[in-house]
Amino acid sequence: MIQGAVFLVSAILMLVVAATFIFVALNASKKAVAYPPLLEKSYSMRAKFFWVLSIAGILILVVTTLDLPYAATRGDVPGNAKLVDVDGRQWFWNISQTEFEKGDVVVFSVTASDVTHGLGIYGPNLRMLNQTQAMPGYSNALEVTFGEPGEYKLMCMEYCGLAHHAMVTAVTVSE
């Protein structure tokens, strides 16, 4: 809903800019006008338009950024969430818990001990559900709700060396 409103506001602002350019282009060669008064009026309009666009841009940035899936990194972790530590190492995932129930909300705290890894979580049908980076000295939070039972795979998505292809760990979700 917010994304639709932001798109509508952005589209209207782009139409206003386009209409202004068209208006200026159509009226540029009609008749000669005294330049100094026109210059003063155009600078005044341009300054107002600049501030309107700047404020709209900042508002759009704030509204759309709040909707990004980084709630866990802002500290908005649900009270019913299970916190699970994930440490990427060449060439395995060290994970603190591997068994969950359907509907569990899990917040993975993802880091790496050696090189950069990419943690991809794949569902029972091997379709990617979520992903984040695992980097040494940094922790990323990734919130996942397990919607169906089965075996989920945690796979490395960042080439990390010779056994990169074998960096797969399974978690089980029961009914």
Residues 93 and 163 in one domain: yes
Q: What is the pLDDT of residue 70?
A: 56
Same domain, 98 and 141: yes
Mean pLDDT of the chain: 86
pLDDT score of 32:
65
User: Residue 24: which residues within 8 A CB-CB, separation 6 or more?
Assistant: none
66-82 mean pLDDT: 65
Same domain, 82 and 153: yes
Domain span at 119: 75-174
As a whole number of angstroms, the distance between CA 158 and CA 63 comes to 31
Band (pLDDT 50/70/90 cuts) for residue 6 is confident
Do both 122 and 162 map to the same domain? yes
Query: How confident is the model over 103-119, as a mean pLDDT?
Result: 93
> Do residue 91 and residue 149 come from a single domain?
yes
Tokens of 112: 């790496």
142, 68 contact by CB (below 8 A): no
Whether 49 and 107 share a structural domain: no
Query: Span 94-117, mean pLDDT?
Result: 93
Q: What is the pLDDT of residue 116?
A: 93
| pLDDT computed for residue 174 by the predictor | 94
Domain end among 43, 66, 89 = 66
| 55 & 99 share domain | no
Final residue belonging to a domain, choices 39, 66, 93: 66
Rounded to whole angstroms, the maximal C-alpha distance in the chain is 79
Taking only the tens place, the pLDDT of each residue in 128-165 is 999 999 999 999 988 899 989 999 999 999 999 899 99
Q: Residue 48 phi/psi, 5° resolution?
A: -65, -45
User: Are 53 and 83 found together in one domain?
Assistant: no
| pTM of the model as a whole | 0.58
Count how many domains the chain has: 2
* Same-domain status, 167 and 89: yes
